[in-house]
Structure 1
Amino acid sequence: MSHPTVLSILFPGQGSQEPGMGRDAAEADSDVMNLWKKAEAISGADLRGIYWDGEEAEMANTRYLQPALTVVNLGLWMRLAGKVAPACTSGHSLGEFSALAAAGALSPNEVLETVSLRGRLMAEADPQGTGAMAAVLKLQLADVETVVRESEQAVGEMIRVANYNTPGQFVLSGTRAAIADASERVKALKGRALPLAVSGAFHSPLMAEAAKELAKHLASVQWNKPKFPVFCNVHGKAVTDAASLRDIMPQQMTSSVQWIDTIRNQHAAGVRSWMEVGPKGVLGKMLGQILAPVADPSEWTGTSVGNLAAAEACLTAQA
C-alpha cells in the first residue's frame, strides 16, 4: 500500500495484548530478540515465557505488560523504520512511550527502563485495591459527563473520564464505589458499562504519587529533539521539543487520554494516512468513528501492522 498523503504512526497501549505477540518478529530478527532480552533484564521477569507460553490472565498484569507490549511495538517498528516516512506519531497511553522511541526523543533502552518502572509504580500505586476502571459504550459525551458528576456527588469519592477514545467509547477511572455507582447510572441510560481488569484507577489523581516517582526518573534520562512531532495524550496537540516532552509525560499518569482530539488534530494538521504499529489493530478500529464528523471516508486510509507478516506486506507494497 502506498502512502502518497501525510502519514502518522500510532502505537497501541494496554488492552491490545494477545498470546504469542511479537514472537514471529523476534525469531526472524536477532535485534528484536535482543530487545526482548533487554526488557527481561530490566524488568526481572520472564516476559517471553509469559506472553509466548503463559496464561492470558497473567498477561494482563501491568507490571509485565508494559515492558512486553513496548517491545512488541518497537520490534515491529524496527522492521519499518527508515522505510516509511511519518510526519508525526502518537501512542495511546502506554503506547506513547513507543512513540517517543520512534521519534528518537528517547532511546529504546531508556524507554524500556521507563515503562518497566511505570508498570511497577502503577501496580503498586493502589495496594488496598480501592481503584477501578470501566469502559462506557453507547452513550454520548454529555451523558457520560453527567454520570460522572452525579456519581461523584452521590458517593463523595473521586471519578473521572480517563479515556476519550471515540465519540461513543469512553473509560471511567475512580474509586470502586464511584465506578459501581456510575456503572448503574450508565445502564439506566441504556448504555453499557464494562469493568476493566486493571490493578488501579489509571489516568486519575489516584496515580499522583506514582507520577511523582516517574517524573524523577524522566528528569534523569537523556532526552533528544524528536525527529517529528509527537501528539501527546494530555492535550492531543503536537509537541516538538525535548523539554516539553520531558515535562508532559509524567502528567499522563494522572490526566485523561485525549485520543479523539489527538486524531482530529492530526487530521487538521494534514494527516490523511494512519499506520498502527502493534498487535490487534485496536486503534485502527477507532479511526472511523473519530474522523466521521470531520472527514469523508474516501479522504483517509488506515493500515494495521500487527505482526511480522503485516510488516513485510507493508514494505512489499511500498517498494
Structure 2
Amino acid sequence: MSEESTVDTSDTAAGLAIAFPGQGNKPDATVEALTRYREHPLVAAFLRRSGLADPADLDLRDTRMAQPATYVCGLASVSERFGADAAPAAVLGHSLGELTALAQAGVLDPWDGLALAERRGQICHAQQDARPGSMIAVMGTGLDGIEWIRRQAIARSGGVLELAGLNGRRQTVLSGDTGTAREAVAIAGELEVLAEELPIGGSFHSPLMADAIGPWREAVTAVPFKPAATTVVSTIDAAPHTDPEELRELLIRALLLPVRWLDATKGVRDLGIERVWDAGPGETLHKLGRREHIVKFVRLPALPQLEVQR
C-alpha cells in the first residue's frame, strides 16, 4: 500500500488502529504534551508524584520520569481526541507503548497501568546502575549489514550487543553494554553507515535486562488483567491478542525480547486495518510508518490550542 502523510477528517476511532510510542521521543515533544494535557487526571497525578508542577522541569533523560510521562501522554492524547470511550479497531505499542496499548484496550485499569509504568522505570533505572548499557540506532543497511557490524563490535570488545528493535527494513536498534555499543557506532562509521547512540538510559531489550525480569514479573503479576475490549497487536510476536494471560506474559517478556515493530504493522494490515494514528507524544511512529508503506499513518486535524494555567 502506498502510504502518505494524509489528514484523516474522521471524528471517531472506528476503523483506525492507534499506536503508542516508547520513551525514545524528543523531550520537547513530551514536555509539550504534558503541558497540553496537564488537567487530565493521569497527567496531573504523574506531575504531582514527580514533585514538579512545571513539565519543563522534568529530567526526561531519567527513565523513571520518561516512562510514566510517555504513558500518561499517550492515553490523554486519545481521550482528548476521541473521548473517554474511544473504540479503535486495534492498538499496538512500541516498547513501553505496549503497556499504554493494554490500558487503552481495557486489559489494564489506566491507574494500574500508571503504577506499572512508574515501577518499570524504577526497575530499569536500578538495572542500569547494576549493568550499565546503551542503545544505538543503525540506519541505511539491512540485517546482513547489521549483523556484520554487531558481530565485529562483539569480537573487538568481548561484550554484549543484541538486536533490540526491528523498526524497518533499513532501521534497526541494537542494545548492550556501552563499550560494545560505541564500538558498533565506530565500525558503522568506518563503513559509512549511519549509526547513533540513543538518549535512553538503559540497555532495553537485551540480555543485560535479564535480572530485571524477576521484579517486573512480580509487579505485573500483582495487577488484574481483563480480556481486551479491542484487539492488541503485540510488538513482541507481531500477532493479534485479546486473552489477558497471553498479554500479561508478553508484557513481562517485552523487557528482554526485541521490538518487532515492522512485523507488528504488517499484523495490523493483515487484520484488514488500513489506517494507523500515532497518539504520541511526538511523531516517532508516524515517521517510521511513512518509510515502510505497509499501512497508512494518518494525521488528524489540529485541535484548538488550550490556555495553560501556570
Query: TM range, normalised to the smaller chain?
Result: 0.7 to 0.9
Partner residue of 2:51 out of 46, 56, 59: 46
Look up the match of 1:12.
21
Match of 1:182 in 2: 184
Structure 1 pair 310–231 and aligned structure 2 pair: CA distance change class (3 A): farther
TM-score by length of 1: 0.84
Aligned mates of 1:262, 1:310 — CA distance in 2: 33
Asked if 2 retains the 8 angstrom alpha-carbon contact of 1:5 and 1:273, the reply is no
CA-based RMSD: 2.4
Structure 2: any 5+ residue segments left out of the alignment? 1-8
Sequence identity of aligned pairs in percent? Answer: 27
Give CA deviations for 1:9-46 in whole Å, capped at 9, x if unaligned: 1011112242332322334xxxx1x22233346xx413
In the other structure, the counterpart of 1:231 is 233
Q: CA deviation at 1:129?
A: 5.9
Give, as a single letter, the amino acid of the residue that structure 1 aligns with 2:20: F
Equivalent position of 2:77 in the other structure: 76
Aligned-partner Cα distance in 1 for 2:305–2:297:
13
Determine which structure has greater relative contact order: mean sequence separation of CA pairs < 8 Å that are 6+ residues apart, divided by chain length: 2
User: Does residue 25 of structure 1 match 2:37?
Assistant: yes
Q: Which residue of 2 aligns with 1:133?
A: 135
Does the Cα contact within 8 Å between 1:24 and 1:307 map onto a contact in 2?
no
- Quick one: structure 1 residues 4 and 198, their matched pair in 2 at CA, closer, same or farther if it must change by over 3 Å? closer
SS in structure 1 at match of 2:156: helix
> Structure 2 CA distance, aligned partners of 1:134 and 1:144?
11
Deviation at 1:5, TM superposition (A): 8.3
Q: For 1:22, what is the secondary structure of its paired residue?
A: helix
Structure 1 runs not aligned, ≥5 long: 312-319
- Give the alignment of 1:151-230 within 5 angstroms: 151-230=153-232
Give deviations 1:73-130, integer Å, cap 9, x for gaps: 1111222146654221101111111111110000111000000000011111021563
| Alignment pair present for 1:254 and 2:271 | no
Paired residues in the alignment total 293
Counterpart of 1:118? 120
TM-score calculated relative to the size of structure 2: 0.87
Distance 1:303 1:215 in 2: 35
User: Which has the larger helix fraction?
Assistant: 1
Distance in structure 2 (CA, Å) of the matches to 1:123 and 1:182: 23
> 3-state DSSP class of the match of 2:165?
strand
